[in-house]
Structure formats: structure tokens, C-alpha cells
Amino acid sequence: MQLRSILAEMNVLAVHGSGTVEISGISCVARRVLPGDLYVAIARELENGEADIELAIERGAAAVISRRMGNTRLRVPRVEVADTRLALAEASAFFHGNAGTKLHVIGVSGPSNSWKTTQLIKQLLERGGIKTGLICSLRHEVGDRTLPASPLAEVCDTQKSFAAMVRAGCTACVVELPSVSPAALKGIPINVLVFGGGEQNLKALSLFVQDRPGTPICGIINCDDESGRAVSCSSIFRMQLSYGFGEASEVRASNLSFSMTGSKFDLELAGSFAVCELPLVGRDNVHHLLGAAAASLSMLTPKQIFGAMGHLRPVPASFEPVPNERGLAVYVDAAADPGSLAALLDSIKLLKPNRTLLLMGSVQGTSGKTRFDLGRVASGFADHVVLTSDNPGTEDMNEICSAVAQGLEQSQRGTYHIQADREQAIRDLISMTEPGDVALILGKGERTYQIIGNTIVPFNDREVAGECLQALPTPLLRTRPVTLAVAALA
């Protein structure tokens, strides 16, 4: 596609150089530019797009879009615009055939564990006969392909994924929105927005919706959250549906009971009712299901949703059981911050285990306060914590463990010990687990590698835990079936 074809659909201030150059892709990260790409120099949190223009050209950028002329010596065509993020959105949408407008896009925003809701929406829609793509922090799913999530996802990456989904025959897509940000999400079409509450504020949400006047957005509001209740009482959404455990919610669960293998509850779905018994362990997972069911009403009938629930699988890395024959259990959860960990541990409390045993670490770059808070939250629930490595990178393991331990020491409730070798730490945890206990391996979820120093090595918590369980001696008697919980804290 020629540059001038793309520019014809955009608001530009000036064009310096030929518009006939061929463009084979679009990028806004200089170090990821491929030969033939159109490089859009946006400002990122840790990168200055303008300063990286020369790097992009060295890597083969065919043309550049930026706010200022810069020192490119016109080695490639240069386009000046007033708003580089808007330019990125416009160029990406046109280049990829406005694929997003051909999909029913459901955005999910809220706390860091919003990816759980996206996974459940996809399951419900797929079981309802709607081929659905997925873009979330856990992974991306395009047709039958599963791809690792990109930590640098921008609108150009999202539009490229939309195009791939359309080619694969998808008619819907579920997108995890890390924040309701009009700037970061320019050009992404949204038909339904699940607002889970948390960090977002009313002003940002209002601007986000106002930025899309041509397409009315249906709001799915978490009314168990204070900010969600504020949104529900506002006029931000012209169409909205509430979910939660409260009686006022239009999609709600009541009469809940929990076990080590699942949950049972009565579900009211916008006037329809059913008794559900599902392999979703914990109150938090049921809450995510309520949001998913409410969002799915935009494409399915209540009857179709109830039918789809009969085929639900545990959400990957979300209290996900790891099968074993030892009478001990495995759940997987990707709680990513102290708030998510607290929600997970609250769910465990409802299971009334004999003991709660945790294994946890902290990834490179995590703040000292977050590490302290992780330890503090764990100390309120855990009987014992094994501190170990979790992608520490070039950071000192002793300093990482010390920061988490300071939080653990806020409570006299339990004990802890440090085992830097993660494989041995998992063996330690499983060896002390008894029937009736819940043991959680926190940290990785879907991430199947360890970053030690500058080296990346394969490491799969599930596989290691499974091997450890297999190595245990066969029990003579199990009086109470339980589950060993494997949870993940990134």
C-alpha cells in the first residue's frame, strides 16, 4: 500500500518527500520496526518516539510520522501531524481495512485481574456459536491460534489482530483494556464496555465514551464496586446493565455455596433464572462470571448463555485446578497485585481449609511498597509462606525477599522461610501440604519461563507441581478430598 493512500484518510499538516513509497506495516516502537514499516513517533512512558526516529530509519522505516520535522535529512518521507496518537489510530485502521468495525468488540476494564472476565466472555460466546477473538494480558487468541500477549501492545498491534481475526472468521472480539484512557485507546471500536471499577475514575470514563459519539456504547457496570455504583447513577452510558451480588443488580448470584472443586448458586440473568453448579472455584471467579454473562447478553439470549455455562471450563490461571490423584489439589490464578491477591485469599477463606500455604516471589522492577503490601496481604491469611524467585532478573534475590518479608512480619499469624530455587521451593510447599490444606503457588500463571540475570530459561509451575505430586508416596487413606491450589501472582 502506498503512503499517499494512507495519508488520504488522515488529518496531516505537511508532507515532506514522496507519497508513492510502499508501506508494508505500521509500528510505533523503533526497536521493533521492520523494513518497509511506517514509523509513528509517539511518546511512551519509557520511550521518546521523536528521539528514536533515527533508530527507526536505520532499521528500515520507509516513512515517518511525527509532530516535528526533526533531523532526518529527508532520507525518508516525513509527515507532520498535530496528534501522533490520533495519526497512529487513523493509519492503523485504514492499513488493516478497518477490521475492528467488522467485529462486535467487547472491552473489559477494571482491576488488574480483568483478564478473567475476558476469558469467560470468550468461552460463553464460543459455546453460543459465535467465533470470538481474544486480546488480554494473559494471551491472545486469533481463530485457532494462541499467541503470547505483548507487553508493548498499541493500537497498531490491536488493529493488526483485528484484521487477523476477521480473516480467521471471527465475528466478535473481547479486549482487556488496561485503563479507560481516551489517548491510549484512540481508534479502537468498542460496542460494549464492562466497567469493573477499581482505578478508573468517572472523568476518564466519561471522556472515553464521549470520544466515540458515533457508536453508542452499552455499559456493563459492576455495582459491587463503589466507583461502579457511581457510574451506574451517572448519565455516562445511554444503555447499561448492572451485575453483582447485591439485590439491585440486574445480573446477580445468590444462595452461593463453595467447595474445593466448584461453586453452586442461583443466577438471575436480566429476568431469567437458573440454578448453576460450575467448576469455578471461589467467590471472585463467580463475580467475574456475572460480568461475563451480562456482557454476553449483547450477542446471546439468556437461554443460550445458560446452555453455554454447562460447558464452562476453569479459567486458565484463575483458581484453575491441576488434576492429581493424591487427594491434594491444584488451582492456578494470575493475581497481579495486592488487591487481586486479597480477593483470591478471601475466596479461599470461604472454603474453610485447615491451613493456607503460599509460595510467592516478586518480579524484577516491582516497587518496594508493592512487595511490602504483598507480604502484608499474605500475612493476614497464610499459615506458612515460602518465599522464592519469580523472574527476579538482575535484582538481588535477598533484597526482593527482604521487602516481601517485611510485610509478612506485620502479622504474627504464620511463619515463612526462604528458598531461592523455585523448583525446590515448590517441593517444600507440596511436602508440607496435608489433606484439608490449601496450598497456592503464586507468581507465574501462563508464564512458562524464569528470568534469572539476563538469561531466560523454561520453567512451568504446573509441570513442576505435577512431578512433585507424582513423586509423593501413595496415601494409605484419604478421609477428605481436597485440592492443592496453584495460583499465580505476576
Domains of the chain: 3-95 (3.40.1390.10), 99-309 (3.40.1190.10), 334-489 (3.90.190.20)
Residue whose grid cell is 522464592? 388
| Phi, psi angles (nearest 5°) of residue 456 | -110, 125
CB 104 within 8 A of CB 299: yes
Q: How far apart are CA 38 and CA 92, in angstroms?
A: 10
For residue 453, give the C-alpha cell: 540475570
> What is the model's pLDDT at position 150?
65
First to last CA, the chain: 40
For residue 433, give the C-alpha cell: 501440604
The CA–CA distances, whole Å, from 1 to 20, 25, 395, 485 equal 9, 9, 45, 51
Q: How far apart are CA 135 and CA 141, in angstroms?
A: 7
> What is the model's pLDDT at position 433?
87
> What is the model's pLDDT at position 449?
87
> What is the model's pLDDT at position 489?
31
| Residue-by-residue pLDDT tens, the chain, 490 positions | 999 999 998 989 999 999 999 999 999 988 899 999 999 998 765 455 577 888 999 999 999 999 876 555 668 999 999 989 889 999 999 999 999 999 999 999 887 788 899 999 999 999 999 999 999 887 889 988 888 776 557 889 899 999 999 999 999 999 988 666 666 677 788 899 999 886 555 667 777 777 776 678 899 999 998 888 988 888 888 899 999 999 999 999 999 999 988 999 999 998 899 999 999 998 999 999 999 999 999 999 999 999 999 999 988 888 877 777 888 877 777 776 888 889 888 888 888 999 999 999 998 999 999 999 999 999 988 999 999 999 899 999 989 999 999 999 887 778 999 999 999 999 999 889 888 899 898 888 778 888 999 899 999 888 898 888 888 876 543 434 333 333 333 3
